[in-house]
Amino acid sequence: MTSALIAENLTKRYGRRTALSGCTLDIPAGHVVGLVGPNGAGKSTLLQLACGLLEPTAGRLEVLGERPSSGSPRVGFVAQDTPVYGGLTVAEHLRMGAHLNPSWDRPLAERRIAQVGLDPTQKAGKLSGGQRAQLALTVAAAKRPDLLLLDEPVAALDPLARRTFLQSLMELAVEQGMSIVMSSHLVADLERVCDHLIVLVASRVRVAGDVEELLAGHHRLVGPRRDPGELNAGWTVVDESRTDVQSTLVVRSTAPIDDPSWQADRLDLEDIVLAYMSGAAGPARVLEGQR
């Protein structure tokens, strides 16, 4: 499995403030990867470092086997809040893309604009949030990058626009076969499109893996109270809560749970992510309320 992005001890400081400290991770190529974590985890900083917009303070970062630099034709980026030029029309944005990118795929850009129903003569400043995000995605995708990075692209969108946008993203992933890394603090968004998930909390990877494996390998167990030492050695406890008589655990286990004294339930992706964010290795972190 090749890597789209490798970070080793990656650190970014702005003066005294540390935005990312000692982050080590490996993102596989050929996937739609979700990068999830609370605000302040360093997701946005990591993505901006990966597209060369920021320079790391320390550590090593390799994107598609190279040191990232802005202006690379191989990496596309859709920034947070999907900025576009308010004074330029939709068609002029495509023209800009064609002028600035040797690998510009004009038919793809025009097809996508027509598909999402954007009027080419409309000024981008007059577009709705969802339309603007679609325009930014089109410009980034028609560049035909090998790796497309998206920083909270749907955070500001209403549910319908969000669904349409994610649909577009999935189509692109399938049709164009590009690797995609998308950050979000909402698991529900990622669940719909991602096949690989990374949970990042305070610059550290809590869990990373293919979504199917994560779903199959995590269990919620409810049973009589037991101390940690009495548990099956093959289990990794992600989160636990105990009352006087009863234990509730979230465990990771590749083997099926065959101990009949536990009542085992499947977890959905959001439960798993929340368990990692609040559990075991640190103080509870609150996710932002869903919009």
In angstroms, give the least distance from the CB of 127 to another protein: 14
Q: Is 75 in the site for another protein (CB under 8 A)?
A: yes
Phi, psi for residue 246 in degrees, rounded to 5: -135, 145
Q: Is 79 in the site for another protein (CB under 8 A)?
A: yes
Q: Is 172 in the site for another protein (CB under 8 A)?
A: no
Cβ-proximal residues to 240 (8 Å cutoff; 6+ apart), any chain: 228, 247, 248, 249, 250, 279
Contact segment (CB under 8 A) with another protein among 73-81, 159-167, 216-224, 250-258 equals: 73-81
Contact segment (CB under 8 A) with another protein among 18-26, 97-105, 157-165, 261-269 equals: 97-105
Q: Could you give the angle at which helices 90-100 and 106-115 cross, rounded to 10 degrees? A: 160
At 116 the three-state DSSP class reads: coil
Structure token digits, residue 76: 């596309």
Q: Is 263 in the site for another protein (CB under 8 A)?
A: no
Q: Is 108 in the site for another protein (CB under 8 A)?
A: no
**β-sheet with 17-28: strand ranges across:** 17-28, 3-14, 58-63
In angstroms, give the least distance from the CB of 124 to another protein: 10
CA 288 to the chain's CA centroid: 16
Q: Is 102 in the site for another protein (CB under 8 A)?
A: yes
Please report where in the chains the tokens 């400290």 appear, as a residue.
21
Contact segment (CB under 8 A) with another protein among 21-29, 35-43, 139-147, 229-237 equals: 139-147
Q: Are 78 and 150 in contact (CB under 8 A)?
A: yes
Q: Which one-letter DSSP state was computed for residue 234?
A: T
Q: Is 240 in the site for another protein (CB under 8 A)?
A: no
Q: Is 51 in the site for another protein (CB under 8 A)?
A: yes
At 147 the three-state DSSP class reads: strand
Q: Which 149-168 positions form the footprint of another protein (CB under 8 A)?
A: none
Q: Is 95 in the site for another protein (CB under 8 A)?
A: yes
Structure token digits, residue 72: 């690379």
How far apart CA 102 and CA 23 sit, in angstroms, is 33
Helices of type H across the chain: 43-50, 90-100, 106-115, 129-142, 159-176, 187-193, 211-217, 269-278
Nearer to another protein, 156 or 208 (CB): 156
Q: Which 118-137 positions form the footprint of another protein (CB under 8 A)?
A: 136
At 157 the three-state DSSP class reads: coil
Nearer to another protein, 83 or 228 (CB): 83
At 175 the three-state DSSP class reads: helix
Q: Is 97 in the site for another protein (CB under 8 A)?
A: yes
Contact segment (CB under 8 A) with another protein among 56-64, 66-74, 222-230, 233-241 equals: 66-74
Interacting residues toward another protein by CB under 8 A: 48, 51-55, 69-73, 75-77, 79-81, 83-88, 92, 95-97, 99-103, 136, 139-140, 143
